[in-house]
Structure 1
Amino acid sequence: MKTIKGPGIFLAQFIGDQAPFNSLASICEWAAGLGYKGVQLPTLDSRFIDLKLAAESQTYADELRGTVQAAGLEITELSTHLQGQLVAVNPVYDQLFDGFAPEAVRGNPAARQQWAVQQLEYAAQASQRLGLTAHATFSGALLWPYVYPWPQRPAGLVETGFDELARRWRPILDVFDECGVDVCYEIHPGEDLHDGVSYEQFLAKVNHHPRACLLYDPSHFVLQCLDYLAYIDIYHERIRAFHVKDAEFNPTGRQGVYGGYQNWVDRAGRFRSLGDGQVDFKAIFSKLTQYDYPGWAVLEWECALKHPEDGAREGADFIQNQIIRVTDKAFDDFASSGIDAARNNTLLGL
């Protein structure tokens, strides 16, 4: 068995214009001061990483890693959640998702998609140069507007959507394979890959590509009323990244899973800081340890109530206290009577 690495922290929710959140060196010093050992690095902010340069220059990649290591940290994974989203966008969301893309490709869905694909390829190459083996992203969504079948979905719509999603992702997965890096899709409402069934549909369409892996985040399953522990039993061989994020679901007589268009603080299902929600992290860490999860436990802070700096401070200790240092011997070794083949044969009547 392996001891899960951590605690790590996803920097996306903390990057800002004020120190210490406005440069890679200073935010890493801040994170290390809280007790974190790794950082998951988003890739759209050039103050923190020049993704193209990291893909093309080993010197720059080494300097980037050196900046993180100077604070006593490691890079856990790179993240292209926003770029991955743009690999597949239903036209109804074009204007909303244009904000994730450079101005030069806004209003041009084909150019935006091409830019996103190039970003993913850079991320694969940059990950390889940084010595990383897993990458965090989203799948994007062509079918999400049709998730609830009313009016009735036309025959073949879902199959066609997954065919196209696979067509777009297969070349990207091949690039990641060439670089020795797993693509870890965060299974998330709003993405075509939002639960186990939808992931399996995609996996079949990409011929069970070895790099089409998973980022496990139980918070999204609490909000879907999905069994997040059984999910680990089913998909543990594909889980290569882990967001430690809490959530709660408290349905009322007025609202349930869909939330009644309310903002996050007023929804029946909402994200919470670690320890403030309903996720059974002791069981999660036990299962992931049992199945030899090879990666990091990374805080993703999202909470409608608590200040992010408090969530980050509390999260480091919370994750550290969940990590199980695996045993190097069986608990009942003291009672072992050794190996005696002749005696074993006698006991079995052989």
Structure 2
Amino acid sequence: MPGTIKGPGLFLAQFADDVAPFNSLGSMAEWAAGLGYKAVQIPTFDGRLFDLDKAAESQTYCDEIVGICREAGVEVSELSTHLQGQLVAVHPAYDLAFDAFAPDTLHGNPTARQEWAVDQVKKAAIAARRMGLDTTVSFTGSLAFPYLYPWPQRPQGLIEEAFAELARRWRPIFDAYTDQGVAVGFEIHPGEDVFDGATFEMFLDAVDGHEACQINYDPSHFLLQQMDYLEFIDLYHERICAFHVKDAEFNPTGRQGVYSGYQGWTNRAGRFRSLGDGQVDFGAIFSKLTQYGYDSWAVLEWECCLKSPGQGAAEGAPFIARHIIETTDKAFDDFAGGEVDQAMIRSMLGLGQ
């Protein structure tokens, strides 16, 4: 039975700032509600908005967070651990860059940084359960991505070992999530080892199809890879537990294509855009997700190389709202129906009485 998608929701990470109203959860929730959003997705890595360590220890704190949002007029859709999830697996080539995602005391210590990240992601499961949520969203991290388009060729077994190690790191986390009745919806994203359907299948196989391993569906990353983002829903809808509504466009030229020639965002062939300004067919996406019974949140993740975040957020809520399909329990041709008559049915088929 098709379900009705909930929304609009707003991922707060890209809007948080040191300037009011973007420097506290309460004021951001009020701002989001004023724009028409019904839920907010909270980045657990932003201490201005959320204290993950405290949430994992205190039911009272979690109740306060839910209450702050409810008083402002929104729900909490999911907790995000994108940055901590990224640090579960980091290739040494990215160590310096990704140190910025961890506390200063962990910089230059990849082992301690990873241990901290694993602990953080596990704590998010506890916090989510305390808040009455059954989903978080995250990244897988990456060990193999530097070898995506290799020269010289990759040695045999490199990719297999990378995914085996990824599974070794994530399986205890998944078990902790199952203990809490919570799933991790991974944003399938270039830069992560899980960046398309094929790599998601490899990861899922490596963790023996673990029930906590789910998908945060974001079509923008698939359009930029020139994937069929609608067939992706056909293939993996049973694993989709969250939905980032984000637009993008791909305009290849004689100078650049998918890799976009190291250009800045405005000059790339592939660019993220505000909702409605790109090429993603959201009408078809909302229809497919509804067809398969997705009834969780549609959450705007705003990223645009041209439009201001304020305008993008203001336009995002009505855009999502008008794409949500209110499902029906009636068939369009019910008016022409009648009582079931088995004798008539057999007669119509030429089967006699």
TM-score, with length taken from structure 2 = 0.98
1:55 Cα offset (Å): 1.2
Q: Which residue pairs with 2:229 in the alignment?
A: 228
Which deviates the most, 280-289 or 50-59?
Answer: 50-59
1:2 Cα offset (Å): 1.0
Q: Which residue pairs with 1:2 in the alignment?
A: 3
In 1, the alpha carbon distance for the partners of 2:29 and 2:161 equals 44
Deviation per CA, 1:130-178, whole angstroms, max 9, x where unpaired? 0101110000000000000211001100000000000000000011111
1:346 Cα offset (Å): 2.5
Q: Which residue pairs with 2:155 in the alignment?
A: 154
1:270 Cα offset (Å): 0.3
Q: Which residue pairs with 2:112 in the alignment?
A: 111
1:120-199 aligned at under 5 Å gives the runs 120-199=121-200
Q: Which residue pairs with 1:257 in the alignment?
A: 258
In 2, the alpha carbon distance for the partners of 1:240 and 1:294 equals 9
1:329 Cα offset (Å): 0.6
In 2, the alpha carbon distance for the partners of 1:294 and 1:318 equals 18
Which residue identity does 1:89 align to in structure 2? V
Structure 1: gaps spanning 5 or more residues = none
Deviation per CA, 1:175-201, whole angstroms, max 9, x where unpaired? 111111111010000000000000000
User: Is the aligned partner of 1:70 residue 2:71?
Assistant: yes
In 2, the alpha carbon distance for the partners of 1:255 and 1:93 equals 25
Q: Which residue pairs with 2:90 in the alignment?
A: 89
Which residue identity does 1:140 align to in structure 2? G
| Alignment: residue pair count | 350
1:209-248 aligned at under 5 Å gives the runs 209-248=210-249
Q: Which residue pairs with 1:275 in the alignment?
A: 276
Which residue identity does 1:15 align to in structure 2? A
In 2, the alpha carbon distance for the partners of 1:253 and 1:208 equals 42
Q: Which residue pairs with 1:42 in the alignment?
A: 43
Which residue identity does 1:54 align to in structure 2? A
1:44 Cα offset (Å): 1.4
Deviation per CA, 1:222-248, whole angstroms, max 9, x where unpaired? 110000000000000000000000000
In 1, the alpha carbon distance for the partners of 2:153 and 2:194 equals 21
Question: What is the RMSD computed on CA atoms of the aligned residues?
Answer: 0.7
Aligned to 1:13, the other structure's residue is in SS state coil
1:342 Cα offset (Å): 2.2
In 2, the alpha carbon distance for the partners of 1:59 and 1:343 equals 64
Structure 2: gaps spanning 5 or more residues = none
Deviation per CA, 1:99-147, whole angstroms, max 9, x where unpaired? 0000111100000000000000100000000010111000000000000
Which residue identity does 2:199 align to in structure 1? S
TM-score, with length taken from structure 1 = 0.99
Q: Which residue pairs with 1:338 in the alignment?
A: 339
1:343 Cα offset (Å): 1.7
1:219 Cα offset (Å): 0.3
In 2, the alpha carbon distance for the partners of 1:194 and 1:229 equals 16
Percent same amino acid at aligned positions?
Answer: 65
Aligned to 1:330, the other structure's residue is in SS state coil
Deviation per CA, 1:54-109, whole angstroms, max 9, x where unpaired? 11111111011000000110000000000000000000100000000001111000
Q: Which residue pairs with 2:290 in the alignment?
A: 289
Deviation per CA, 1:286-305, whole angstroms, max 9, x where unpaired? 00000001310000000000
1:345 Cα offset (Å): 2.6
Q: Which residue pairs with 2:319 in the alignment?
A: 318
In 2, the alpha carbon distance for the partners of 1:306 and 1:225 equals 23
In 2, the alpha carbon distance for the partners of 1:135 and 1:303 equals 24
In 2, the alpha carbon distance for the partners of 1:154 and 1:253 equals 33
Structure 1: 4+ residue segments shifted above 3 A? none
Which residue identity does 1:96 align to in structure 2? A
In 1, the alpha carbon distance for the partners of 2:295 and 2:164 equals 31
In 1, the alpha carbon distance for the partners of 2:151 and 2:285 equals 36
